[in-house]
Structure 1
């Protein structure tokens, strides 16, 4: 059983790399099996179809980043917005390390499977909800601590932050412009942070 789990995990990791680099349409099962050194007939022992395989990859990817966010957002040495900026710094570092193949799996798939499997769309929607809710929870903490700019709705701000993040990724890839993400990060925090005038008025 442990060996089977290891093989399944290896296929998922190889599939994740393939999807990030080539998208849904550009990924073939054959090359992934070859990279993982797994016999072709074994694939259907682990996955019912390509969509089932991609669904497992989405779940794996979401679990990785859910865990990273939880670790960063739990760091009480930092204020809430400092934790958010630390998270964005990790994302920025990952993009720089993986460029030009890196990015966001959810965004990559979201642009290519809109007319395909309802199951995959549901898994993407679930991953986005988890992402949005975790950021919204952190922004609620920032609001309670008096860090958040007046009038900012934590849930809507979380959605807008993710939308802007996906847009920054497109600019990075389209223009080979790594500074696009740095600009996004700087502006995102500035738009959320309570300014000094607000602090004075509430004092």
Structure 2
């Protein structure tokens, strides 16, 4: 029996998520109305629940989409040809400084923007944040192991623990940079990272 409703297309759903990421990166999750997102995506108002069961489910999908793209970009960066593994890691941290200070909300880290806001409000969104950040740390740990093998990384500790500590440092530095409206916390994190990875000459 034919259905009366056309299933939502992946493109339209992704258009909503892409538009939402830019807006929410600037304003936060709770402060953004659904109609604002739908208008930015060029989707008729009132059709939100055709694509998402609830705002909570939308938040899950938003973070899953964000981390999917983020991890793909990180994988590509960590395969940059012509660089040692240590140089690739430092490239990642420098890009972090650039994206958090360039004023473009599209590049802002949603883990920084939404971590504190939604973790106490939505358990499903908290779990997506946990999975996503854990996957980032896992990749950084793997890169450090490769860097130790090629001699370009020199750390005093287990790669997984160092990767987690550095990621926590950068999340904290990003938050402090937002509070102070000053890049200095990020630059301090960069200097600390260089020291820990044995990259002081870069």
Normalised-by-shorter TM-score class? 0.7 to 0.9
Gaps of 5+ in 2: 1-5
Q: Which residue of 1 aligns with 2:138?
A: 133
Give 1:166's match in structure 2, choosing from 166, 171, 191: 171
Give 1:155's match in structure 2, choosing from 160, 173, 181: 160
The CA deviation at 1:99 is: 5.4
Contact 1:146 1:194 in 2 (8 A): no
Q: Which residue of 1 aligns with 2:148?
A: 143
Q: Which residue of 2 aligns with 1:59?
A: 64
Give 1:68's match in structure 2, choosing from 67, 70, 73: 73
Structure 1 residues 72-112: Cα deviation after superposition (integer angstroms, max 9, x where no partner): 11124111110001111222222232357863201222101
Provide the aligned C-alpha RMSD in A.
2.3
Contact 2:119 2:126 in 1 (8 A): yes
Alignment pair present for 1:24 and 2:29: yes
Give, in whole Å, the separation in 1 of the partners of 2:45 and 2:104: 31
Give, in whole Å, the separation in 2 of the partners of 1:32 and 1:174: 26
Change (3 A) 1:153 1:78: same
Structure 1 residues 130-167: Cα deviation after superposition (integer angstroms, max 9, x where no partner): 10100000001112223333532100111111111111
Give, in whole Å, the separation in 2 of the partners of 1:76 and 1:18: 34
- Give the TM-score, by structure 2 length: 0.87
- Give the TM-score, by structure 1 length: 0.87
Give, in whole Å, the separation in 2 of the partners of 1:172 and 1:150: 26
Change (3 A) 1:99 1:16: closer
Higher alpha-carbon deviation: 99-108 or 36-45: 99-108
Gaps of 5+ in 1: 197-203
